């Protein structure tokens, strides 16, 4: 996809992190950007900071009706959508898979996968009809690997990767002018570890995890965050991949080794 003056992008999860950085980079490239986020005040602050080329729309991507309204708002205002960035996501509770409450499985799935599905359903028909456009789905390195004690997050991000690959194959047959990119970032300096700030009220309380596990996970995440890249760097890497028409993109080139390790183990097991 070539970025051109007058194009319109929709970015979910746009009030912070990679979403905000992508929105800023798109505005800098001359695009008009519809900003969607569930957090009203940070969304308004982001729109004010990025200027009059943006339109904020409070949206819970887990709700299909709200995403339909987002699409209708964007099309009514601008008459087109050239780029959809499905970025909104949550981390959810950590711990052994069998200890995580059903409520948390459902919440993480509804945002991380449901949000992408809702975005595809609401926006891709317009792109297919226009015979142009691009969809960016933000997955994670955890969508290509399987680190322990992150089962809901890993499962949803693997789902986003295969959903993106499937969508790309389908569009290749039915609408070759519409592209797909799935980004699999490593650790980026965002608020993903604070995702519980948006955990819906009324969900079941999480069981207390052993102190050694909590301390260990906190230490691992703290070290990873210390080495994390800035959202602006991740955003530029993703937009270069979009401009080049690439399906897959990592934000941390060195993490290819982690993916190779998983693929090699998979192949070794299948060939045994």
Low-confidence stretches of the chain (pLDDT beneath 70) = 193
Residue pair 176/127 in contact (Cβ under 8 Å)? The answer is no
Domain assignment present for residue 1? The answer is no
What's the CA gap between 55 and 66, in Å, rounded?
A: 15
Predicted pLDDT of residue 217: 78
Predicted pLDDT of residue 172: 98
Residue 86 belongs to domain spanning: 8-271
Q: Which of 16, 153, 178, 252 is catalytic?
A: 153
Tokens of 155: 């499962």
Predicted pLDDT of residue 181: 99
Residue pair 207/102 in contact (Cβ under 8 Å)? The answer is no
Tokens of 60: 């819970």
Domain assignment present for residue 3? The answer is no
Q: Is 233 a catalytic residue?
A: no
| pLDDT tens sequence across 114-161 | 999 999 999 999 999 999 999 999 999 999 999 999 999 999 999 999
Predicted pLDDT of residue 32: 98
The CATH number linked to 121 is 3.40.50.720
Predicted pLDDT of residue 192: 75
Domain count across the chain: 1
| pLDDT tens sequence across 82-99 | 999 999 999 877 889 999
């Amino acid at each position: 996809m070539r970025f051109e003056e007058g194009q319109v992008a929709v970015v979910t999860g746009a009030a912070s992190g990679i979403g905000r950085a992508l929105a800023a980079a798109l505005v800098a490239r001359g695009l008009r950007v519809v900003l969607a986020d569930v957090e009203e005040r940070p969304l308004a602050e982001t729109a004010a900071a990025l200027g009059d080329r943006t339109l904020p729309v409070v949206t819970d991507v887990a709700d299909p009706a709200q995403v339909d309204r987002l699409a209708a708002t964007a099309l009514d205002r601008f008459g087109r959508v050239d780029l959809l960035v499905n970025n909104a996501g949550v981390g959810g509770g950590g711990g052994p898979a069998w200890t995580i409450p059903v409520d948390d499985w459902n919440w993480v799935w509804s945002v991380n996968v449901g949000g992408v599905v809702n975005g595809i359903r609401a926006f891709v028909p317009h792109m297919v009809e226009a015979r142009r456009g691009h969809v960016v789905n933000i997955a994670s390195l955890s969508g290509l690997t399987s680190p322990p004690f992150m089962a809901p997050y890993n499962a949803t991000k693997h789902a986003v990767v295969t959903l993106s690959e499937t969508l790309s194959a389908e569009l290749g047959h039915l609408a070759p002018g519409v592209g797909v990119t799935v980004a699999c970032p490593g650790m980026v300096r965002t608020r993903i570890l604070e995702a519980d700030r948006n955990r819906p009220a009324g969900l079941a309380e999480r069981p207390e995890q052993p102190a050694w596990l909590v301390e260990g996970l906190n230490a691992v995440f703290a070290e990873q965050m210390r080495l994390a890249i800035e959202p602006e760097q991740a955003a530029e890497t993703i937009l270069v991949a979009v401009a080049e028409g690439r399906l897959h993109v990592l934000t941390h080139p060195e993490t290819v080794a982690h993916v190779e390790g998983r693929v090699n183990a998979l192949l070794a097991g299948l060939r045994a």
